[in-house]
Chains A and B, each alone.
Chain A
């Protein structure tokens, strides 16, 4: 086993441990799991960064071009953003969604692990890290919005059902979750827009045209549209709460479909690249 794969697998283990700690943190009164969870994630993140770093060094280009690299990179960004939020305000319940997501993504990356591949000439550009970085940052932020919305629906159900605050007492308040959803929506949309703009510029530089009927591009416009309508609704019509959370989850479902569908079916430029 290469050092890179060893690091990745250790990171998977730490993400798993963080998931257990976060779930315990919601359920039990003791402080320990809540204190341990961000540390486990932090160690996982360091190992994970090392894995991707080693791989990039080995391949000679940013390791963001194959399917397993994409899954792994997305998990990395998700954990990193979550830790930034967690640092400012501890939200163990959010960790209980994010940690299993990171665990699942890295585990999947390990399952479809194919090792570094030589870079196709068309991708050999300075735009690669910029375009992919922005696009994936946007995806990670939307994943956080999804996590917050999921928690919102759980908390909202509990409050409506009059089940009291006894068991899941560490769920954040509806207000906190709704605000987080809003912030993630704004940032996600900004990043996605920038990702798409850089993609268009890159396409023009590479092929001399702005537009291609690449499925990934079409999907991105669809996702952009969904989130833009949602943000618009929030800002103008005052959409919030359950409705906003449901739409956020729906938008993320399309995003996952695009991510997995395009890559698994190897469609278009994006599909072939991976």
Chain B
């Protein structure tokens, strides 16, 4: 019989955000949607993954072609869209390809920022939601848990997530080259703007002790400071507050530089030449590049930071290549288990196992009985054959009866575990360790 895994979805590469947001599932919608997915004829197991960068439906059933037709219709129908509206944005992966895709997503190889760690948590969350409503069964259980361990392997063996990925974390990484610890350091945000606020927020999250916010309009400084948990400081008295800042983030551009060498030289003298890390995120630049020449001032503008990120991306590409080979090996392993799940190979394995047992015991018994005449010998042999057939009769007919229905994988799994068939003995341990 046929058994298939199909994944249908769209991501940041295949669809613009305007399309992605139309098909995204909100938290409350997920449970009911999963139930409707399970109600579809031909779907045995299913899970939905919905993040801001991707929406994917993965399902397990008897027939790949059938599932490939069902799932896009389901996805469109869930959001009251015409199926044609999604055409051209959806990708469909079947069987090995579907498993590979899921593993790559988990390992963050399919992410917008390769190596970013959030996706794994999101996958776990969505898988848990599917498990909760009983939408996932043996196959997806194993498939998702495998994907989690693949992600762990990729992370620990390739160091893909080690590097700074965004400007904000590049800034933090650089700060660690200057300061021993960020705790107890204070930062100053000059001007407002999404990039500056993001960087300030990131620095605070990394342990920077306090944040001052200065803006040409004091009200704006108060707003930003309140949002970030910082303290507004007056724009005019900057020369008094500047020496307190170990990190300065320039985020506002104007006709003139906000800070020049003389202001920073004063600040340095005031703070007894303790180093200052200056990050200039503004375009055009907010801080005079000449300040980098001061002893104790380390200035990075947006291009420098992006250079750091590009460096990191370069080594990420190498790590990603290594990660792909890990994924490939794990897909092979999973696929070996998955194809072994069919009824026919299970019955064959069951027969082989018992036949081997019968042969072994028969030999032992005959040896123990010593000289027998052929009639007795045949009787003993017949007994053993009959016994095996009787033992196998009910399990085999049960397996055949449930072939291609929802209980199939349950019975196959049960048979494999009870009789320790094939590679399932060690696969079972693996499975338990995962839980």
Contacts and interface: CB of A to CB of B under 8 A. Distances in A.
Contact of A159 (B174, B272, B312): B174
B173 interface: yes
B173 A165 contact: yes
Interface in A124-176: 155, 158-160, 162, 164-166, 171-176
Interface in B51-93: none
Interface stretch (A19-27, A50-58, A183-191, A236-244): A236-244
B159 A164 contact: no
A241 B296 contact: yes
21 contacts: A160-B292, A162-B300, A162-B307, A162-B308, A164-B308, A164-B312, A165-B308, A166-B308, A173-B176, A173-B177, A174-B178, A174-B179, A174-B275, A175-B178, A175-B275, A179-B180, A238-B272, A239-B273, A241-B273, A242-B295, A243-B295
A231 to B, nearest CB: 15
Nearest to B277: A159
Given A162-B307, A175-B275, A29 B177 contact: no
B424 interface: no
B177 A160 contact: no
A241 B297 CA distance: 11
For the complex of A and B, list the 9 residue pairs with the smallest distance between their C-beta atoms, beginning with the closest: A238-B272, A164-B308, A175-B180, A162-B304, A166-B311, A176-B180, A159-B298, A29-B159, A173-B180
Contacts of A155: 177
Given A174-B177, A175-B180, A29 B311 contact: no
B162 interface: yes
Interface residues of B, number: 25
Interface string B166-186: 000010011011111000000
A238 B300 CA distance: 25
B177 to A, nearest CB: 5
A158 B272 contact: no
Interface string B307-325: 1100110010000000000
Nearest to A241: B296
Interface string A3-34: 00000000000000000000000000100000
Most chain B C-beta atoms within 10 Å of own C-beta, residue among A29, A173, A242: A173
B178 A241 contact: no
B40 to A, nearest CB: 47
B353 interface: no
Contact of B272 (A162, A176, A240): A240
A137 to B, nearest CB: 26
A175 B296 CA distance: 11
Interface string B140-179: 0000000000000000000100100000001001101111
A158 B177 contact: yes
B155 to A, nearest CB: 12
B162 A173 contact: no
B377 interface: no
B382 interface: no
A240 B273 contact: yes
Contacts of B417: none
Given A29-B162, A174-B178, A175-B178, A160 B298 contact: yes
A176 B308 CA distance: 22
Nearest to B159: A29
Contacts of B216: none
A120 B274 CA distance: 51
Contacts of A166: 308, 311-312, 315
Most chain A C-beta atoms within 10 Å of own C-beta, residue among B176, B177, B296: B177
Contacts of B273: 238-241
B178 A165 contact: no
Contacts of B176: 165, 173
Contact of B311 (A164, A171, A176): A164
Given A240-B273, A241-B275, 10 more contacts: A29-B159, A155-B177, A158-B177, A162-B308, A165-B173, A166-B308, A173-B179, A174-B178, A174-B179, A241-B295
Contacts of B162: 29
Interface string A217-254: 00000000000000000000011111100000000000
Contacts of A240: 272-274, 296
Interface in B249-294: 272-275, 292
B248 to A, nearest CB: 15
Nearest to A175: B180
A165 to B, nearest CB: 5
Contacts of B179: 173-175
Contacts of B272: 238, 240
Contacts of B292: 160
